[in-house]
């Protein structure tokens, strides 16, 4: 009996309530969706944590990293939470809590005297607007400094067949001084296009179009970009959110300069005559 009691003390029973969904994504991150309350007692990296009809509590000394945390009632944080988005009726941070939250979608916020909250934007639009307001500070981040330093060092040029051109070669053809002089809308359009290009989700011909747009922005060839950006974007048939945002930023920039009409989110021009077959 003593052995049985000791075993129960060291190995608590795990109950998975009816209606709970547990999944693992391709990156090995766990997603948990439960109909009732969810208590996290174990540190870890998660994709999504959701309580459909209750609250979520992260206990003391527990460190949780998640893409999203969502609950119908209250998200209690007693330990450490790092998340891209928290959606709840109330976000409550105990005195010992630390939370790094990029986007907060809550009706009320309760922060203990000793708690620490970093981030707390209400939407992606607000976050993007803030970055645009402090574009010079963003440009001074180590990521951009390291990239400029890399460009200043001579690189060996690989020998390749005449006429051959790897699509990634355009990504290294940046002019740091031209990039630094870009107006804010074009600079952030470049950031969005680079991020989308690095996902490698487009077919080869569309990747080459992205490479061309990135090259024009990096080299500061705005005259060519002004005349070709519409046609280039129209050749990206599977444009996602990042490409669409970049499209709008570039169109609005040139519209402000030349009074040409802007793109709408669904506008597409007819293909130019003599296009590729």
Position 241 scores a pLDDT of 83
Reduced to 3 states (helix: H, G, I; strand: E, B; else coil), residue 266 is coil
Q: Evaluate if pTM is beyond 0.85.
A: no
Q: Looking at residue 65, what is its pLDDT? A: 93
Q: Which residues does the chain have with pLDDT short of 70?
A: 1-9, 124-125, 128-180, 258-277
pLDDT at 258: 66
CA distance 188 to 200: 19
Q: Residue 109: what pLDDT?
A: 92
pLDDT, tens only, 64-91: 999 899 999 999 999 999 998 999 999 9
Structural Rg of the chain based on CA atoms: 25
Distances (CA, A) of 23 to 15, 18, 27, 84: 16, 15, 11, 19
């Amino acid at each position: 009996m003593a052995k049985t009691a000791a075993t129960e003390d060291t190995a608590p029973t795990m109950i998975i309530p009816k209606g709970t969904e547990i999944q693992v994504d391709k990156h090995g991150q766990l997603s948990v969706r439960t109909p009732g309350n969810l208590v996290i007692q174990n540190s870890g990296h998660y994709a999504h944590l959701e309580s459909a009809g209750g609250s979520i509590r992260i206990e003391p000394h527990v460190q949780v990293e998640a893409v999203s945390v969502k609950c119908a009632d209250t998200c209690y944080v007693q330990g450490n939470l790092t998340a891209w988005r928290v959606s709840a009726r109330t976000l409550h941070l105990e005195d010992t809590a630390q939370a790094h939250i990029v986007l907060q979608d809550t009706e009320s916020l309760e922060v203990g005297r000793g708690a620490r909250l970093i981030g707390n934007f209400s939407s992606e639009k607000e976050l993007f607007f803030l970055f645009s307001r402090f574009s010079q500070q963003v440009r001074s981040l180590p990521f951009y400094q390291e990239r400029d330093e890399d460009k200043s060092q001579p690189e060996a040029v690989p020998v390749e067949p005449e006429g051959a051109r790897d699509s990634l070669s355009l990504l290294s053809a940046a002019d740091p001084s031209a990039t630094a002089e870009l107006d804010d809308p074009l600079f952030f359009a470049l950031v969005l296009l680079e991020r989308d290009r690095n996902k490698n989700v487009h077919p080869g011909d569309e990747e080459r179009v992205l490479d061309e747009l990135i090259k024009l922005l990096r080299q500061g060839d705005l005259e060519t970009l002004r005349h070709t950006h519409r046609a280039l974007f129209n050749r990206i048939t599977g444009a996602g959110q990042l490409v669409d945002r970049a499209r709008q930023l570039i169109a609005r920039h040139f519209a402000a300069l030349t009074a040409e009409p802007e793109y709408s989110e669904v506008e597409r021009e007819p293909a130019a005559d003599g296009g590729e077959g």
